[in-house]
C-alpha cells in the first residue's frame, strides 16, 4: 500500500450497513418472551408521595407486574461532587417527588400497549408542595427546600477572593449578566434498555450508552452483584451528546425486573418521555466583569456563575469546574477570579451536553469581548487579535492554571476572516444601514479554546493479527455516529500496511473488551487512537522479532512492507505475509522461548494531560427589521484539532456541531411554568434547527499538532458547538446594535428580537 492512509478521505466502513437498512438498534433485537416496561411519572414537580395505588393496573389484560419503591430494594444513584447521600436520586421515588416526570412506579406487561394502558391506571397519592423552577426562585426568601437535610437549595459553593483591586489597572470595565439557557439533547434515538437472563445465571444488559462499563457498574452496584455477572452490550446507537453517559433508572430497573421474573424485559422511551426524563444541558447564569486598557489590552476578568443542576445533582455539579478551566479562552488575561454556586430546582437534572461547560465559558467570554469592543469603539476582530497568546509561546499556563499544549489562534482567525470576506461584509453592512434597507446584516465572531480528554483517564485497546491476515481491534471507547470504526481502522491499516477494510473494530461489549472509559469529552481519537497505535506497535515489534529469527536477520533491519508483509528492508522477496506470521506465532515448535508468542497485544494509553483545540467562527445573519425574523446567511468555521486523520470524519463532526450551535442560539429552550410543568415536552413546542434554518457551512481547518499523543491529534467532537453558538448570538446582537441593543439572551427567537428592537 503506497503512501499513507492517514490524512486521506476514505469512506466510512460503517455506512453500507446503515444504507442497506441493516443497522441493529436496540428495538431491532428480537428476544423470545420479552416483557415491556413502562414508567409511571409524577404529574407534580414537588410533593409528598404518601402512596401509590396499583390495583387498577392489573385489570388490563397482559399486565404482569407493577413495582413501586416499596417493592424494590435497590441502591440509589450517587450524586456528584460529594454533595452527600441526601441528594441521591432514588430509582423510584420514595417519600417525595422533586420534578414533573419523576418515576413513581413501573408497569411490566406482555406488550408495549398493555404496559402503556396499565401505567395510565396507576394512581400516585401526592400532596403538592410549592415548586421552584428557576435559580432565582430557588434562592429567594422563603423558597421551599428540595432536600431539607441540606438546609438550602444552594448545595455547593466554590468562592474565590473578591479582590477590590482586581480592576485597578483597567481604564474600562464592562459588566453584564448573561444567560445560557437550559436545552434538551434530543438525540436521534431516545433512551432504551433490554435485559436478558441467560442460562448460566448471568444477565445480558443491552443499553444505549456512551460507556458500557459505567452502565454495567451502575447496574451491578444497584443490584448488589459482582460486575462479572452482567454482560453489558451496546447495539448501534443513534447519538448521545453526553446525555447517554447517565445511567437512567429504567436502564437499571429492567435488569432487576428480568432477574425477578426470569424473562427478558425491554424499555423504550417515547420522545415526550425523553424530553422530560433525559438529562438536560447548559442552564447557567453568568455575572461577568471584564477590564481592559484603552488600547484593548485585557487586564482582568471576574465571573460569578450559578449552575442549575435540576432536582438531583449529578455531573452538572462539576461542570462549572470546566467553565472555569476555559475562562481565559485564547486570551492573555493576567488575573481571573471565578466563583460559582450549584443550585437545585424542581426540574429534570442537568448533565453533560456537547461541550459540558466549555460552550458556556466561550459564550460568556465572547459576549464580554464584543461588549468591550463596543465600549472601546474597536473592531471586534482587532480586539481579539491584540490579546491572543502568541504561537511561539506554547505551552502556556493561563490565569486559571489550564496548561494549553499548542496553538496558533491568530492563524485561525485570519483564515476565517479571509474566507468570510470580512471587510466586504462590513461594507455591505454599512451600505444597508445607510440606505434604510429593511434587511440588516449582522456579523458575529467567536474565537475559542476548548479542552478535550479533560479527565486524563486514559483508554484501553488491543490488536490481534488473524490467520487470514486481517486485524481485529478491540477498543474501550464506544461509537454512536462519529466514525470510530473507520478512524481506528485507518490507524491499524497504516501500521500493518493492509487495506482498512481488512480491520475489524469491536467495541461496546464487556465480554469482548477488557476495559474502557467510554466516549465523551472528545477523547476517542487521541486516547483510544493512541491505545490502538501502541497496541499495534507492540504487535509489530513481536512480528519483527519472529521474522528476524526465521530469516536470521537483525530485528533492526526488519520492516513492515507494502501489501501486508514483514521482511528485511531492501529485500522485497523476504517479506512474509501477516496471515502466515500469525500461524507461525502460535506454533511453539517454530520459535524459541525468548520470543513472545501470538501476534496480539493490548495497551492502556495515558497521554499525561489534556489537549486544547481551538478555532474561529464567523456567522453572518440577516435581520428583518419589520418582523424580528433572523436568517443565518453564512457560517464560516475554521477549527484546529491537530493532525487531520480523515477530513470527511472531521467535517462531519463540525457540521453537526454548528447545527446544534445554531439551534441553541436561535430556537432551543427547555421551559417550565412556575408550577414546574414542562412547557416544551414534545417536538412541536421544543424547536430544533432544520435544513431550511441552516446555511451551507463553509468549513476549513488549520493544523497545529500536539506532542501529547503519537498521532498529534486533538478532539473535534464538541469544538464546533463551542465556536458556533456565540458566533450566531454575536451576529444577531451586531444586527440589533443600531437599535440600541447591546445584548440579548438566547434563544434569539423572532419575538424576542422584535421586542428588543422596540425597547431599544
SS3 315: helix
Bridge partners of 514? none
Same domain, 534 and 446: no
Q: Could you tell me if 499 and 429 are in contact, meaning their C-beta atoms sit under 8 angstroms apart?
A: no
pLDDT tens, residue by residue, 88-144 = 999 999 999 999 999 999 999 999 999 999 999 999 999 999 999 999 999 999 999
Assigned domain for 700 exists: yes
In this prediction, residue 81 has a pLDDT band, given cuts at 50, 70 and 90, of low
pLDDT averaged over every residue in the chain: 96
In this prediction, residue 700 has a pLDDT band, given cuts at 50, 70 and 90, of very high
pLDDT tens, residue by residue, 448-502 = 999 999 976 799 999 999 999 999 999 999 999 999 999 999 999 999 999 999 9
- Given 550, 579, 605, which residue is the final one in a domain? 605
Same domain, 543 and 413: no
Q: How many domains does the chain have?
A: 3
Same domain, 620 and 486: no
Among the ranges given (246-260, 536-550, 594-608), the one the predictor scored with the smallest mean pLDDT: 594-608
Domain of 229, CATH number, reads 3.90.1170.50
Residues near 285 by beta carbon (within 8 Å), at least 6 away in sequence: 135, 177, 178, 179, 180, 305, 306, 308
Phi, psi of 753 (to 5 degrees): -65, -45
In this prediction, residue 588 has a pLDDT band, given cuts at 50, 70 and 90, of confident
Residues near 421 by beta carbon (within 8 Å), at least 6 away in sequence: none
Q: What is the pLDDT of residue 79?
A: 62
Assigned domain for 147 exists: no
pLDDT tens, residue by residue, 656-680 = 999 999 999 999 999 999 999 999 9
Assigned domain for 688 exists: yes
Q: What is the pLDDT of residue 596?
A: 82
Assigned domain for 173 exists: no
Same domain, 438 and 469: no
- Given 231, 260, 277, which residue is the final one in a domain? 277
- Given 253, 277, 301, which residue is the final one in a domain? 277
Mean pLDDT computed over 183-195 = 97
Residue 62 neighbours by CB distance under 10 Å: 16
Residues near 661 by beta carbon (within 8 Å), at least 6 away in sequence: 359, 720, 721, 722, 723, 724, 725, 727, 728
SS3 729: helix
pLDDT tens, residue by residue, 342-379 = 999 999 999 999 999 999 999 999 999 999 999 999 99
Mean pLDDT computed over 598-607 = 96
pLDDT tens, residue by residue, 545-581 = 999 999 999 999 999 999 999 999 999 999 999 999 9
Assigned domain for 393 exists: no
In 697-748, DSSP assigns E strands to: 697-701
Q: What is the pLDDT of residue 702?
A: 98
Q: What is the pLDDT of residue 75?
A: 79
Assigned domain for 58 exists: yes
Q: What is the pLDDT of residue 86?
A: 85
Domain of 525, CATH number, reads 3.30.365.10
pTM score = 0.97
Same domain, 596 and 638: no
Q: What is the pLDDT of residue 167?
A: 98
Rounded Cα–Cα distance for residues 251 and 346 (Å): 23
Q: Could you tell me if 631 and 440 are in contact, meaning their C-beta atoms sit under 8 angstroms apart?
A: no
Same domain, 444 and 502: no
Rounded Cα–Cα distance for residues 490 and 494 (Å): 6
Q: What is the pLDDT of residue 278?
A: 98
In this prediction, residue 1 has a pLDDT band, given cuts at 50, 70 and 90, of very low
Same domain, 446 and 462: no
User: Is residue 650 pLDDT above 60, yes or no?
Assistant: yes
Same domain, 410 and 484: no
Mean pLDDT computed over 600-615 = 97
Same domain, 54 and 203: yes
Among the ranges given (433-447, 515-529, 547-561, 587-601), the one the predictor scored with the smallest mean pLDDT: 587-601
Same domain, 468 and 570: yes
Nearest to 451 by CA among 707, 718, 653: 718
Domain of residue 197 covers 31-129+186-277
User: Is residue 2 pLDDT above 70, yes or no?
Assistant: no
Assigned domain for 566 exists: yes
Assigned domain for 459 exists: yes
Nearest to 607 by CA among 705, 486, 479, 504: 705
Same domain, 640 and 700: yes
Same domain, 424 and 471: no
In our burial notation (b when 16+ CB lie closer than 10 A, e otherwise), range 253-269 reads: bbbbbbbeeebbbbbbb
Nearest to 575 by CA among 557, 561, 585, 554: 561
Amino acid at each position: 500500500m503506497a503512501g499513507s492512509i492517514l490524512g486521506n478521505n476514505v469512506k466510512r466502513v460503517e455506512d453500507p450497513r446503515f444504507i442497506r437498512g441493516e443497522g441493529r438498534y436496540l428495538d431491532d433485537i428480537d428476544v423470545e418472551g420479552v416483557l415491556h416496561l413502562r414508567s409511571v411519572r409524577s404529574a407534580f414537580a414537588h410533593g409528598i408521595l404518601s402512596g401509590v395505588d396499583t390495583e387498577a393496573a392489573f385489570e388490563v389484560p397482559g399486565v404482569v407486574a407493577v413495582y413501586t419503591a416499596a417493592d424494590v430494594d435497590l441502591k440509589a444513584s450517587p450524586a456528584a461532587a460529594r454533595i452527600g447521600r441526601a441528594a441521591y436520586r432514588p430509582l423510584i421515588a420514595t417519600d417525595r417527588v422533586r420534578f414533573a416526570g419523576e418515576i413513581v412506579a413501573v408497569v411490566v406487561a406482555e406488550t408495549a400497549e398493555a404496559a402503556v394502558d396499565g401505567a395510565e391506571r396507576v394512581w400516585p397519592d401526592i400532596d403538592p408542595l410549592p415548586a421552584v423552577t428557576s435559580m432565582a426562585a430557588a434562592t429567594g426568601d422563603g423558597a421551599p427546600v428540595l432536600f431539607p437535610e441540606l438546609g438550602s437549595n444552594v448545595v455547593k459553593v466554590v468562592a474565590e477572593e473578591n479582590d477590590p483591586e482586581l480592576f485597578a489597572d483597567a481604564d474600562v470595565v464592562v459588566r453584564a449578566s448573561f444567560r445560557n439557557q437550559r436545552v434538551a439533547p434530543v438525540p436521534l434515538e431516545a433512551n432504551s434498555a433490554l435485559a436478558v437472563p441467560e442460562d448460566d445465571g448471568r444477565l445480558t444488559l443491552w443499553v444505549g450508552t456512551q460507556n458500557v462499563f459505567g452502565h454495567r457498574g451502575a447496574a451491578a452496584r444497584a443490584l448488589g452483584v459482582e460486575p462479572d455477572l452482567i454482560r453489558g452490550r451496546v447495539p448501534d446507537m443513534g447519538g448521545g451528546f453526553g446525555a447517554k453517559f447517565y445511567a437512567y433508572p429504567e436502564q437499571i430497573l429492567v435488569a432487576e425486573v428480568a432477574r425477578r421474573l426470569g424473562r427478558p424485559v425491554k424499555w423504550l422511551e417515547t420522545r415526550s418521555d425523553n424530553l422530560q426524563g433525559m438529562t438536560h444541558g447548559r442552564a447557567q447564569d453568568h455575572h461577568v466583569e471584564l477590564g481592559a486598557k484603552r488600547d484593548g489590552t485585557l487586564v482582568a476578568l471576574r465571573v460569578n456563575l450559578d449552575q442549575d443542576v435540576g432536582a438531583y445533582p449529578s455531573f452538572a455539579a462539576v461542570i462549572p469546574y470546566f467553565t472555569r478551566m476555559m475562562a481565559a479562552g485564547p486570551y492573555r488575561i493576567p488575573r481571573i477570579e471565578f466563583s460559582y454556586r450549584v443550585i437545585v430546582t424542581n426540574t429534570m437534572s442537568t448533565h453533560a451536553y456537547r461541550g459540558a461547560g466549555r460552550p458556556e465559558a466561550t459564550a460568556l467570554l465572547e459576549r464580554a469581548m464584543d461588549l468591550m469592543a463596543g465600549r472601546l469603539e474597536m473592531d471586534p476582530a482587532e480586539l481579539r487579535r491584540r490579546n491572543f497568546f502568541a504561537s511561539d509561546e506554547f505551552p502556556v499556563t493561563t490565569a486559571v492554571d489550564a496548561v494549553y499544549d499548542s496553538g496558533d489562534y491568530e492563524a485561525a482567525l485570519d483564515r476565517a476572516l479571509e474566507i468570510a470576506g470580512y471587510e466586504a461584509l462590513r461594507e455591505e453592512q454599512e451600505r444597508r444601514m445607510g440606505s434604510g434597507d429593511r434587511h440588516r446584516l449582522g456579523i458575529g465572531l467567536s474565537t475559542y479554546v476548548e479542552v478535550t480528554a479533560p479527565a486524563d483517564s486514559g483508554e484501553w485497546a488491543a490488536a490481534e493479527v488473524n490467520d487470514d491476515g486481517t486485524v481485529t481491534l478491540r477498543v474501550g471507547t464506544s461509537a454512536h455516529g462519529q466514525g470510530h470504526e473507520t478512524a481506528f481502522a485507518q490507524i491499524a491499516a497504516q501500521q500493518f500496511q493492509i487495506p482498512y477494510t481488512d480491520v475489524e473494530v469491536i467495541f461496546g461489549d464487556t465480554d469482548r473488551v477488557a476495559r474502557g472509559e467510554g466516549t465523551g469529552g472528545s477523547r476517542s481519537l487521541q486516547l483510544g487512537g493512541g491505545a490502538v497505535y501502541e497496541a499495534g506497535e507492540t504487535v509489530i515489534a513481536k512480528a519483527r522479532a519472529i521474522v528476524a529469527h526465521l530469516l536470521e536477520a537483525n530485528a533492526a533491519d526488519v520492516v513492515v512492507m507494502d501489501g501486508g508483509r514483514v521482511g528485511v528492508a531492501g529485500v522485497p522477496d523476504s517479506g512474509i505475509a501477516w496471515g502466515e506470521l500469525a500461524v507461525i506465532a502460535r506454533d511453539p515448535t517454530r520459535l524459541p522461548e525468548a520470543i513472545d508468542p501470538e501476534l496480539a497485544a493490548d495497551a492502556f494509553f495515558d497521554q499525561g494531560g489534556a489537549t486544547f483545540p481551538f478555532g474561529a467562527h464567523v456567522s453572518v445573519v440577516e435581520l428583518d427589521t419589520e418582523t424580528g425574523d433572523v436568517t443565518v446567511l453564512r457560517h464560516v468555521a475554521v477549527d484546529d484539532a491537530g493532525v487531520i486523520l480523515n477530513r470527511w470524519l472531521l467535517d462531519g463532526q463540525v457540521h453537526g456541531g454548528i447545527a446544534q450551535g445554531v439551534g441553541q442560539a436561535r430556537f432551543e429552550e427547555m421551559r417550565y411554568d412556575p408550577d414546574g410543568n414542562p412547557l416544551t415536552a414534545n417536538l412541536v413546542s421544543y424547536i430544533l434547527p432544520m435544513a431550511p434554518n441552516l446555511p451551507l457551512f463553509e468549513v476549513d481547518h488549520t493544523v497545529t499538532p500536539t506532542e501529547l499523543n503519537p498521532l498529534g491529534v486533538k478532539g473535534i467532537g464538541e469544538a464546533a458547538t463551542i465556536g458556533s453558538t456565540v458566533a450566531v448570538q454575536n451576529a444577531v446582537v451586531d444586527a440589533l446594535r443600531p437599535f440600541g441593543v447591546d445584548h440579548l439572551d438566547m434563544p434569539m427567537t423572532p419575538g424576542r428580537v422584535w421586542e428588543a428592537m422596540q425597547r431599544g
